[in-house]
Structure 1
Amino acid sequence: MFTLLRTEGHARRGIFETVHGTIQTPFFMNVGTAAAIKGGISSIDLANELKCQVELCNTYHLHLRPGDKIVRQMGGLHQFMNWHKPILTDSGGFQVFSLAKLRRIREEGVYFQSHIDGKAIFMGPEESMQIQSNLGSTIAMAFDECVENPAPLDYVKNSCARTTRWLIRCQKEMQRLNSLEGTINPHQMLFGINQGGTYDAIRVSHMQEIAQLGLDG
């Protein structure tokens, strides 16, 4: 639940309540890509000394090492990290962009080569949701394509349309996973990602499409 406390211009101040605790907005999200902050900062220090409210972890990297199924066996990311506040997991969609030389994008999903050992990997909307469900994060991000900037107008249009189709598949799979007995976090939320490159009109229309789906964010 999000409670709006105050607005000033385009800025807003609010309280975001989750199953893993309350987040005061706006907020800075510490990035613990592989379930840890670089530099030797412990989860205890993050919570008690730095007053971190939420951490971000990376679906693609955790899928490769140590493996999302291992994290699930250990009780999910919260137990694995000894972090008991909210966690957001990104979907792996950014790796569609950053690993451009190691991937092929198709309607069903993306075919990767691992940046670690070259192993063949496939990730689509359903696989991304399954991995994030195994991780048990508070917020799961939808699987999307992050295009390079600038990119041709027609490509961006087609990419956004595909990202919307993927989002609908993510939503369906998330609902299925949350209904299963034994799911680590049956209250896992799904957020859509607004794409559209540098084209304002496409970004606005894509945002409107996302808003119509009734997602958590």
Structure 2
Amino acid sequence: MIRVALVDDQALFRAGVRMLVESQPDLEFAGEAGDGQEAIGLAVRGRPDVMLMDVRMPVRDGIQATEAILADAAAAGRTPPRILVLTTFDLDENAARAIRAGASGFVLKDADPEFLLAAIRTVHRGNAVIAANATRELIAHASRGSGRAPAPASWADLTPREREIFRLAARGLSNGEIAATEFLSEATVKTHVSRILAKLGLRDRVQLVVFAYEHELPAAD
């Protein structure tokens, strides 16, 4: 069973998500909170595997809560929950900030219920999720207005092949799609992606997308 907790300041929204989670045979509802401060206690008390975290809330927002939950787990030697941020197009820059804070990805609050359920299962497996139909648009907008940083020195450590795979991954292509485009095996692509993440100090492919736009690196033709 995957234990799922929910943090959102709208009671009606919490009720709907709770019913959705409880309708699934492989999911168990682990509790809910109405603000980021309550979420910190819920992470310890409810022992969730995945936390759905709204961004804009009273007392403490979802980004601050994400940072605190992950820091507390690290300090206590606990396995932290995977945090999946709930956002809207109006909060896109905060989604990018949440990913940098340690969230495993984000989905739109009006996403199809089946997509939300798939996202929960995906992050529980250790993979990252980025909102459907929003990969480049949201992150590009998130980077505008805050000033993009120049490419870091670690960018020069990537080989020409790794830079090309980085470009395709930043566009949201899967390993299989990259393999077909570059005439490589999926195993080879997976190895390249792992090396790219290690060289750039990134946790997952969602951070790679954010990184590309923040540093004005080529992510599109």
TM-score (structure 2 length as normaliser):
0.31
Say which structure is richer in helix: 2
TM-score (structure 1 length as normaliser):
0.31
